[in-house]
Amino acid sequence: MEFQFPILSVIVFIPIIAGVLMMLMPAERKNEVRIIALAAAVLALLLSIWVYITYDQNVAGYQFEEVYDWVPALGIGYHVGVDGMSIPLVLLTGVVMFTGVLISWGLDDRPREFFAILFLLATGVFGVFVSLDLFLLFFFYEIAVFPMYLLIAIWGWAKTREYAAMKLTLYLFVGSVIALVGILAMYFGSGLETFDMIKLEEANFSEHFQNIWFLPVFLGFAVLGGIWPFHNWSPDGHVAAPTAVSMFHAGVLMKLGAFAALRVGIMLLPQGAERWSGLIMVFAVIAVVYGALIAFMQDDLKYMIGFSSVSHMGLVMLGLSTLNKNGLTGAGVQMFSHGVMTALFFAVAGMIYDRAHTRYISELGGMGKIMPFAMIGFIIGGFVSMGMPGFSGFVAEFPIFMGVWQVSPWIAIIATTSIVITAAYILRNVRDVFFRPLPKKLEGQITDVIVLDKVAIFTVSALMIALGLFPIILVPMVQTGVDNILRLLGGA
């Protein structure tokens, strides 16, 4: 067999290697640390783009696979590979990592440790998206979750960071333990003595088994996806987290939950998914409307974005719960679209907070004149959020509503009310934060964003518009992944 460059492993381990390098640097050489961080992020991003471009959509299926034994006695292997569903998420992680480093450039409190821990998280995230082995997936999943505690508790907002870090960690660990039990059940229940997901896809679990174990597995992971009613850790976590961490948290970490719920829950237990999809759909539609309503009344900018994430992740879950092609495609696109959009939102919110030292919308105003670039970015994000045609949000939401309508028109009607509510809170926010005259208290202390911020804003905004105008760059890719899911569902 000819040698194949292990590109996925390289992507996964770049962040952690960079982290180790940074820890070897003296703490006071902050700029060098930042440069290493940026270099690693750029490299990871370029490699993800490479994977994205060279993935052969005509062949579809899992590609760039690497298989090594890890603990053969237990059937644990190091098996990675990507398909149309996970590649966009790998790219998303690369984008968020890159922009996250850019906008954290000014962070002055122990940047070495900050970036090192953040990159540990990034490795975990990349790892989950490429894992094709259940044990490996779970392993990376925990690596992704654990650093959040440190990042929030150390660098977070002093007032609530301990509470939020604790709440987040507890929710996520409880969720993952429940999922772990399910994973072990699958391991023993399959009789195949393997954690390899591709083999488990063909395991043909009995209907009884699937009906019992689908919910624990799905919900256990979906907690991280912010599924209602287990969403409450998420907004609190966003608010307490420093900007780059919020971006990771909402941008990719929540996708992790939805992705794992899809990969492990729906794909390995398809009959269970069909049995319980109604319940998931109800949870999801509640989250969509409920999150939007709460976001509507929030005065705290970050809480607003946090609850809007709950609402938008609800759309992802809604798409997943349809189990049809339109819904699943929409969910896949929405994961990407929401990832970049919400990263942008948190980035801008962070820029505003760093300058105004308040996140209360009622105390803000006049930012449009001072930081027009940030405003344009925020408005573009807003249009994505509202599902305006021409932006990526529409490309994602339209198929979701289509898929939901096929299952239940009433749910679709309820879910679309969120479009109106979303428009209400986004526009209100834009009006007050950017267009209203600058309050006296803030005069003189606000400055425009720096060049690096602009690069970050430009990157994500351009992505959202490009995807909105030319859905062809992403949607067919996601569809190849969806076809595989449908095959599993149909074969059930």
Partner 1 sequence: MAIETLIIWLIPLPPFLAFFLIILFTNKNKMLSHGLGVGAAILSWLGSMFVIYKALTDDHFSAFEGTLKWLPIGESTDTWFSIGVMIDPLGATVLFFVSITIFMIFLYSIGYHNFGQPKGDKDQPGLPPHGATIKQGKGKSITVPSIEPLYARFFAFLSLFAFGMYLLVVSDNLLTMFVGWEIMGLCSYLLIGFWYGKKSARDAAIKAFMTTRIGDVFMLLGIVFLYTATGTLTFREIFTEETLAALAGAPAILGLSAAGAISLLLFIGTIGKSAQWPLHVWLPDAMEGPTPVSAMIHAATMVSAGVYALIRMFPLLTADFSGHGLTTAMSIIAFIGAFTALFAATIAVAQNDIKRVLAYSTISQLGFMIAALGIGAYVAAVFHLVTHAFFKALLFLGSGSVIHGMEHGVLHTGKHKVDPQNMFNMGGLRTKMPVTFWTFLIGGFALSGFPVITAGFWSKDEILADAWGNGHMVVFITLAIAAFLTAFYTMRQITLTFLGKPRTKEAGHAHETPWTMTVPLVILSVFAIGFGWVGIPEHFPVLGGILPNWFHNFVGHTLTHPPEVLKFDIVPLATSLVVALGGLGFGYLAYRNVKSPADDKLQISVLKNKWYFDEIYDFIFVKPAYWVSETLIYKWIDRGLIDGILHSFGTVIGFLGYSIRKYFDLKLINDFFSDGSARVTQWFGGRLQPIQTGHIQQYMLASLGLIIIIGGILLSLLVQ
Q: Which residues bind partner 1 (CB under 8 A)?
A: 167, 229, 232, 290, 293-294, 296-298, 324-326, 329, 368-369, 383, 386, 388-390, 395, 398-399, 401-402, 405-406, 409, 412-413, 416-417, 419-420, 423-424, 427-428, 431, 435-437, 471-472, 475-476, 479, 483
Min dist CB 25 to partner 1, Å, is 40
Taking the C-alpha atoms of residue 417 and residue 206, their distance in angstroms, rounded to an integer, is 39
Name the minimum Å distance from CB 274 to partner 1. 17
Nearer to partner 1, 105 or 230 (CB): 230
Q: How far is the CB of 181 from partner 1 (least distance, A)?
A: 19
Who's near 394: CB < 8 A, 6+ residues apart? 387, 388, 468
Residues 6+ apart with CB under 8 A from 97: 15, 41, 44, 45, 119, 122, 248
Q: Is 293 or 466 the residue whose CB approaches partner 1 more closely? A: 293
Comparing CB distances to partner 1, the nearer of 262 and 433 is 433
Smallest gap from Cβ 129 to partner 1, in A, equals 23
Residues 6+ apart with CB under 8 A from 73: none
Taking the complex as a whole, the smallest distance from the CB of residue 107 to partner 1 amounts, in Å, to 30
Q: 209 vs 228, which CB is nearer to partner 1?
A: 228
Nearer to partner 1, 93 or 461 (CB): 461
**CA 289, CA 410: separation in Å to the nearest integer?**
13
Q: What is the CA radius of gyration of the chain?
A: 21
Nearer to partner 1, 202 or 299 (CB): 299
In the chain, the N- to C-terminal Cα span, in Å, equals 35
| Residue 84: closest CA among 471, 488, 481 | 481
d(CA 82, CA 108) in angstroms, rounded, equals: 37
Comparing CB distances to partner 1, the nearer of 49 and 388 is 388
161 touches 152 (CB < 8 A)? yes
What are 69's strand-pairing partners? Answer: 77
Cβ 155 to partner 1 shortest distance, Å: 24
> Facing residues of 82 across strands?
63
Nearest approach in angstroms of CB 430 to partner 1 is: 9
Phi-psi region of 407 (alpha: psi -120 to 50; beta: other; left: phi over 0): alpha
